[in-house]
Every structure is written in C-alpha cells, then in structure tokens.
Structure 1
Amino acid sequence: MKRILWLAIAATVAAVLFYVSRFWDFRLWSRDGLFGIEALRPQGGLVGQWVRGTDLAPFELLIWAVGVFLVLTLLQKLYDLLNPPPE
C-alpha cells in the first residue's frame, strides 16, 4: 500500500513539474484557468510567465531544471526519512 501511495505522489509531482515547464502542450481546461484561478492557465509554461520581463528570462529552462532537481531531491529525502531501510 505504501508503494502505491509513493508512486501516486511521484506521478503527481511529475505532472506538476511538467505543467510548470514550457513543454506542457495540453489544453485540459478553459481559458479562465483551473478552478477559476487565472494564474493556472491551460497552456502551462509558468516558469516562463514568472520570469518574463526580467533579466532571468533567457535562463528559464535552466531555472526549471534546477527547480526540478531540488524538488525531486527533497522528495527523495522525505521518502528516505519516512521509510528507513530494514535492518
């Protein structure tokens, strides 16, 4: 049961990270945004939206990659903390 829970958490995190990236190409909800939240537009690309107009805009993909690495590292640390290896 724990394994299924952690797989579901990993899949959800992967979907969120994919949505935040510029590679999201699906239009699964209306233009009003997910649940009416305008910041959650259907075409994704939130990192690009967040850094648009700043000096960091050319580094959007690098910022996303570093963020993904940090999120996955924290998720692994949480998993290791909650599931110690058997002795």
Structure 2
Amino acid sequence: MADGDMRSGRCGACGGGEVRWGEYVAQAGLRRPGAGKFGARKPVFDAYICVACGNTQLHLRLDAQMSSFIRGKLDRIWPQRGKG
C-alpha cells in the first residue's frame, strides 16, 4: 500500500487515526467524464472515511469481469515521469 492509503487506518490528509470502513455501491455505473451511463454495472467500493477531517478513499473491488469492463470503457492515464 502506498503512503496515504487509508486502508492502514491512518488518514493521509490529516494524519488522524480514526478511519472508518464501509461499502459504497455506485448506483449510476461507470462512465467517462461527460459521457452517458454505460449500462447497469453497479460497482462496489470499499470506502475509508476519516472522521476527523472527512477525507474519503474509495477502492473498487475488482474481479476479472470488472477489470475487463473498465479496460474496454475508460481512458487510460499513463504514468508520468518524475520531475528531477
């Protein structure tokens, strides 16, 4: 897990140690920004919420079918080279 990953129980924004976990079910489905709905997909996310500052992280529960769906529908963001 990367620094700032709230799955460790610590908020990456404020450093608080009271992170709560729940589920978030997307009702509208996945889409490109500004595009219409892509169908009846209802992805489930693990939601991590800092009760001190409200910072929230969503982590999609991926299986092979959802990964394939995402690859076929959403644009890829390529890693950027570090500045230095």
TM-score after normalising by structure 2: 0.22
Greater helix share, 1 or 2? 1
Decide which structure has greater strand share.
Answer: 2
